[in-house]
Amino acid sequence: MRGNQARKHKFFSMCAILVMVTLAASFFITPSTNGKVTINIGYQSITAQTWGALIIKHQHLFEKKLKARYPYIDFNIQWHDEVSGSVINNNMLAHKYQIGYMGDMPSIINLYNGYLHEEYNSRLLAIDGKGLNGKNQSILVSQESGINDIHDLAGRTISVPIASSTHKMLLDILAQNDLLDKVEIINQDIPTAYNMITTGKIQALAAWEPYPSYLMQNDQMIRLMDGEVTGNDYLAGIMIDDDWAKKNSEYTSIFLDSIKESHEFLRNNPDESVKIISQESGFPPDVIANVLKNIDWEMEITSSNRDTLKKNYEFLYELGFLKDFPVEAYLNTVKGKN
């Protein structure tokens, strides 16, 4: 009798343990009451250096990898095409986006936001596109401007988005040619600047790809100077909300695999990449094909890339866009806040 009771007790104890394990597993794998995980990603189809995002989006690389690892979860990946890195930064700071593709200057500002704001932590997850030595940035003038040499800009007005890598490129070129105090620089987005050139209100603009190639397509503009003369690499960063990343380390690892696959696709399938990017961005295929030749797709945060980003931080600091913060620590790993 006692043996039967002992067996029953053992049986019910095992059942209780199995129920608890099942409930615990169910709790662990179910991210919300409806079993759906939503991940928001900001990107910029108007910036060639971040076109790696278009490959992941169009090919559903992230979703496929997530589904293979978690077949029981309903993943909802929301892609947000924004006009600038600052818009993505604002949404990441508000915890609306978990991942953001942006240029190197906005990437530094994202890290600075992580330092400045107690409720937000930032991490540089990877690099997307890279223009070696300043490729993919240019100074453009109208075909009919009569400007044929960089020194012809003396006394003229040049438009550039202030605090961008292209702004830094422009200032470096002007300094190299003793023109810093001989031109007027105004802050405008590139479409506005182009409209002002066509009406003769300004004489030059500085822009990043694909705008230069697009504006030169029908002989509307000519390239006066290429950013490659500066020797400064032009990077795009992939930023992540570090608090979210730590809570979702497996999702983060899967996204890193997606970045790697997108870069391999861009390197190995140039014709298909052109079709996808044209479809996603609206830029003509011949423009995209020309631009892609000058982009290196490397995701590693190398010492060289860190040095480039540190120089960009110094540029933003000198402009007064941010105050002193331990940028080097943030480029290596996120440090605890004071």
Contact yes or no for 217/287 (Cβ under 8 A): yes
Q: ∠ at Cα 330 (100, 103), nearest 5°?
A: 35
pLDDT at residue 5, as a whole number: 46
pLDDT at residue 235, as a whole number: 94
pLDDT at residue 10, as a whole number: 40
Q: What is the pTM of this model?
A: 0.86
Query: How high is the mean pLDDT in each 10-residue block of the chain (338 residues)?
Result: 43 39 36 73 97 98 97 96 94 98 96 95 96 94 91 95 95 96 94 89 94 88 94 95 96 98 98 98 96 95 94 95 91 55
pLDDT at residue 20, as a whole number: 40
pLDDT at residue 33, as a whole number: 40
Query: Burial code of 96-110, b = ≥16 C-beta within 10 A, e = fewer?
Result: ebbbbbbbbbbbbbb
pLDDT at residue 220, as a whole number: 82
Rounded Cα gap, residues 91 and 139, in angstroms? 31
Rounded Cα gap, residues 332 and 302, in angstroms? 10
Length of the chain: 338
Burial, 139: exposed, middle or buried (Cβ in 10 Å; 0-12, 13-18, 19+)?
Answer: buried
Which runs of E-coded beta strand occur in 19-148? 36-43, 74-81, 99-103, 122-131, 137-142
| Beta-carbon contacts of residue 192 (< 8 Å; ≥ 6 apart) | 159
pLDDT at residue 25, as a whole number: 36
Cβ count near 10 (within 10 Å): 10
Cβ count near 9 (within 10 Å): 10
List the one residue out of 297, 288, 289 whose CA is nearest residue 259. 297
pLDDT at residue 34, as a whole number: 53
Which runs of E-coded beta strand occur in 136-216? 137-142, 157-160, 184-187, 204-208
pLDDT at residue 27, as a whole number: 35
pLDDT at residue 200, as a whole number: 86
Rounded Cα gap, residues 10 and 109, in angstroms? 60
pLDDT at residue 218, as a whole number: 75
